């Protein structure tokens, strides 16, 4: 069985930050549904046009669009040895669809690290976030600043602030998380896959905790 990992957590918990580090250490692709949507917005594709209105409002893109997009990505050859999913699934329907897809493709969810952070801290994290234009690498003006202001350490591309990191949109995203995504905590707990991780700790401590759970061979 090929192992897949699902990172769960509220907006700003540090899923993207951790996923980039862990995926590299484990030698598997980091698949972020948010990044795929943003690439499509940037290129103004049909998918980007469909997703834009929902993302700008801080709402979830409808399940059928999202599921099709992620399944297409998982069918690419670089996922043959597994992948780390960040931001998907985010509704019970997406979780059910993923289970069926993996069962059909000799895959399984090995574990679901749930990075938990108090709601008050999420706003602080998202309002200080800077993201790289080329690859979506993530920084924070206070907690994880780039070496040179406004420039990505890893690929030299410019850093920008996401449109959906405005305060009102962040509040909406957090509410949507509690209504639509939080039910997945029990869903994966009941399957014995969920491991809660204290996301309030510094980035490298959270990485160590996630690595322990993921237990990938390339570590
Ligand atoms: P998406 O891009 O997935 O956003 P999100 O889940 O809201 O998560 P974020 O990217 O905001 O946060 P994160 O947990 O990755 O935190 P990060 O590591 O950046 O989705 C965006 C939109 O796309 C959605 O609103 C929706 O419209 C659509 N979408 C995406 N997937 C979908 C799906 N499956 N279904 C339907 N719609 C979907 O960290 C945040 C900041 O904190 C950074 O600045 C970082 O440097 C800092 N930081 C990280 N860890 C720490 C730490 N331990 N201590 C201090 N600072 C830290």
What percent of the chain stands above pLDDT 70? 99
Specify the residue for token string 């250490």.
25
The candidate with the shortest Cα–Cα distance to 194, out of 112, 127, 129, is 112
For every residue of 79-140, DSSP letters joined together read GTT-EEEES---SHHHHHHHHHHHHHTTEEEEEEEEEE--HHHHHHHHHTEEEETTT--EEE
**What residue owns the CA closest to ligand 1's atom 2?**
34
Indicate the burial class of 202 (C-beta count within 10 angstroms; 0-12, 13-18, 19 or more).
Answer: exposed
Q: Ligand 1, from 59, 138, 163, 165: best to mutate by most atoms within 8 Å of Cβ?
A: 138
pLDDT at 218: 58
Q: For residues 172 and 57, is the Cβ–Cβ distance under 8 A?
A: yes
SS3 10: coil
125 in active site: no
Kindly provide the residue ranges of all beta strands, DSSP E only, lying in the chain, ordered along the sequence.
Answer: 2-7, 30-32, 83-86, 107-116, 129-132, 138-140, 159-160, 194-198
Instruction: Report all structural domains of the chain as residue ranges with CATH numbers, in order of start.
Output: 2-118+182-214 (3.40.50.300)
In order along its 219 residues, the chain shows pLDDT tens digits of 999 999 999 999 999 999 999 999 999 999 999 999 999 999 999 999 999 999 999 999 999 999 999 999 999 999 999 999 999 999 999 999 999 999 999 999 999 999 999 998 999 999 999 999 988 899 999 999 999 999 999 999 999 999 899 888 999 999 999 999 999 999 999 999 999 999 999 999 999 999 999 988 654
Q: Ligand 1, from 9, 10, 13, 16: best to mutate by most atoms within 8 Å of Cβ?
A: 16
pTM given for the model:
0.95
């Amino acid at each position: 069985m090929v192992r897949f990992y699902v990172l769960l957590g509220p907006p700003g918990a540090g899923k993207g930050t951790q996923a980039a580090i862990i995926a590299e250490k484990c030698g598997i692709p980091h698949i972020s549904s948010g990044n795929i949507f943003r690439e499509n917005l940037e290129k103004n594709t049909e998918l980007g046009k469909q997703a834009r209105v929902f993302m700008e409002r801080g709402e979830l893109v409808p399940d059928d669009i999202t599921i099709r997009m992620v399944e297409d990505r998982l069918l690419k050859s670089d996922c043959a040895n597994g992948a780390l999913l960040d931001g998907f699934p985010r509704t019970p329907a997406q979780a059910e669809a993923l289970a069926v897809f993996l069962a059909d493709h000799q895959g399984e969810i090995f574990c679901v690290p749930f990075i938990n952070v108090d709601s008050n801290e999420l706003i602080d994290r998202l309002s200080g976030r800077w993201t790289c234009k080329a690859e979506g690498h993530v920084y924070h003006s206070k907690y994880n600043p780039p070496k040179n202001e406004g420039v990505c350490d890893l690929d030299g591309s410019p850093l920008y602030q996401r449109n959906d990191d405005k305060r009102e949109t962040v509040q909406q995203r957090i509410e949507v998380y509690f209504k639509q995504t939080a039910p997945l905590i029990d869903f994966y707990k009941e399957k014995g896959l969920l491991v809660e991780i204290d996301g309030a700790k510094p980035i490298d401590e959270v990485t160590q905790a996630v690595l322990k759970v993921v237990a990938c061979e390339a570590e």
